[in-house]
Amino acid sequence: MDRQKILILGGTGEGIALATALITLADCHVISSLAGRVANPKMPAGEVRIGGFGGADGLAAYLEKNSIAAVIDATHPFAYRMGWNAARAAERASVKLLRFERPAWIAQPADRWIEIDDWNGAVDVLRSSAERVFLALGRQELEPFTALKDIAFVIRSVEPLDPALIFANAEILLARGPFRLDDERALLQSRAIDHVVCKNSGGDATDAKLLAARALGITVIMQRRPVRPDVPKVSDIDAAIAWVTSL
Ligand code: NAP
C-alpha cells in the first residue's frame, strides 16, 4: 500500500519538530513546505519543497496533483495569509487540515503590556511616551517606525535590513533566537531601553526578552495574534501524531 502523503506548511520550529516526528511513522511520507524567505533556513527532515503555491487555488491544485492525504498548517501564528489559504485549499481539494500552533504568551501580574492590533497602534503609543525602544520584529514590519525621528531604536533582525529603510537613530543587531535571559536583560539595561515592541509569537525561544522586561519594569507593546480560520487545532506533537494516525 502507498504511504499517505502529509504536507506540513512550516517555516517554524514546530514544523521541524513535526517533520522529525512524522517521518518515524511507517505509513507516512512527509513533505515540508517553506516560503523561501530566509537565505539559509533550518531544513526539516524528509522531503522539502520551497516557495509559494500561488494562493489558495495554487495550493489546492498542488494538493490534488500530488495526492496529498492531509495538510498540517504549522506556520507561524502571524503567517495568517497562509493559514487562510490552507483552509480554502483544503476545502476545495477535500483534504483534511490540522492547525498546529504554539500557545500565545499571557501577561503575568508583574508585566506592563500594552496590547495593539497593528504597528500603527504601536507607533501612536511610542510617539507619546518613548525615548529608547527595542524592536524585535520581522524586517518587513519595520517601515511604520521610521516615522519616529526622535526615538533611538535597537532593532534585532535575523536577516539584514532593506537599505531603503531610513531610521534617524538605530542600532541593528543581526541575531537568530533562542535568546538567554541574562543576555536579554543585559541588552535592555545597556541600551537603557524604555519600551520593547514585539508580537505575541509564543514559545520559549524568544520569551526571554519578556522575562527581562518584566524584571526591569519595562513596558512591552505586544501585537495581538491575527484571526485564523476555525479548523481543528493542536499544540503538541503527540496530539498531532494521534491526528495523523487516525486518518
Ligand atoms: P504569510 O503572510 O501568511 O504568507 C504570504 C505568502 O507566503 C503565502 O500566501 C504563500 O504564498 C507564502 N507562504 C507562506 N508560508 C509558506 C509556506 N510554509 N510554504 C510555502 N509558501 C508559503 O506568511 P509570512 O508571515 O510572510 O511568513 C512566511 C513564512 O515565514 C511562513 O512559512 C512562516 O511560518 C514563517 N515565519 C513567519 C513569521 C512571521 O512573524 N510572520 C515568523 C517566523 C517564521 P502563495 O500564496 O504563493 O502560496
The whole-number pLDDT of residue 2 equals 72
Q: What is the CA(168)–ligand 1 centre distance, in A? A: 30
What tens digit of pLDDT does each residue of 103-156 get? 999 999 999 999 999 999 999 999 999 999 999 998 999 999 999 999 999 999
First to last CA, the chain: 15
Ligand 1 pocket test, pick from 12, 81, 118, 139 with the greatest ligand atom count within 8 Å of Cβ, gives 81
Establish whether residue 81 lines the binding site of ligand 1, counting it when its CB lies within 6 angstroms of any ligand atom.
Answer: yes
Region label for 33, one of left (φ > 0), alpha (ψ between -120 and 50) or beta (otherwise): beta
Q: What is the mean pLDDT of residues 42-61?
A: 97
Q: What distance separates the 2 farthest-apart alpha carbons in the chain?
A: 65
Q: Could you give the percent of the chain with pLDDT greater than 90?
A: 89
CA distances from 36 to 9, 72, 101, 145, 203 (A): 12, 18, 20, 26, 22
Q: What is the CA(36)–ligand 1 centre distance, in A? A: 8
Q: What is the CA(7)–ligand 1 centre distance, in A? A: 15
DSSP state of 201: -
The whole-number pLDDT of residue 159 equals 87
pTM: 0.92
Ligand 1 pocket test, pick from 82, 158, 200 with the greatest ligand atom count within 8 Å of Cβ, gives 82
Cell matching residue 76: 507561524
Q: Given the CA of residue 74, which atom of ligand 1 is nearest to it?
A: 34
Helices 237-245, 13-22: crossing angle, 10 deg rounding? 50
Per-residue pLDDT at 1 exceeds 60: no
Q: For strands 170-174 and 152-157, give the pairing.
A: parallel
Q: Which residues contact 155 (CB under 8 A, 6 or more apart)?
A: 135, 137, 142, 161, 167, 170, 171, 172, 173
Of 3, 24, 47, 2, nearest to 237 by C-alpha is: 24
Q: Given the CA of residue 199, which atom of ligand 1 is nearest to it?
A: 40
Region label for 30, one of left (φ > 0), alpha (ψ between -120 and 50) or beta (otherwise): beta
